[in-house]
Amino acid sequence: MSRKVFEIVARIMVVPVDAVSLESSPETLENWDSLRHMKLILAIEESLDVQFSDDDIVSIKNVRDLLACVEARH
């Protein structure tokens, strides 16, 4: 699951997969602006067939949070 999430993060943020880690966030990836943040949430929901709650959505600050939300909803 984490590999798939990393690949989606890399695609949306337009960076190599190797550049993505659990700590990747708007602070560490220059491309991670608010628009890409929202596109990332939408891409994860669509690609992995999960649906986040509002609380999930606002809790996502980095890839670690994102992965935790995916695993909790999958």
Q: How many CB atoms lie under 10 A from the CB of residue 28? A: 13
* C-alpha 45 chain-centroid distance: 10
The type of residue at 22 is L
The one-letter code for the residue type at 68 is A
Q: Smallest gap, in angstroms, from Cβ of residue 38 to another protein?
A: 4
Among 3, 34, 49, 74, binds another protein (CB under 8 A): 34
Nearer to another protein, 3 or 44 (CB): 44
d(CA 22, CA 35): 20
Under the criterion CB under 8 A, does residue 35 sit at the interface with another protein?
yes
Tell me if 42 contacts another protein by CB under 8 A. Answer: yes
- Which residues lie near another protein (CB under 8 A)? 25-26, 32-35, 37-39, 41-42, 51, 53-55, 57-61
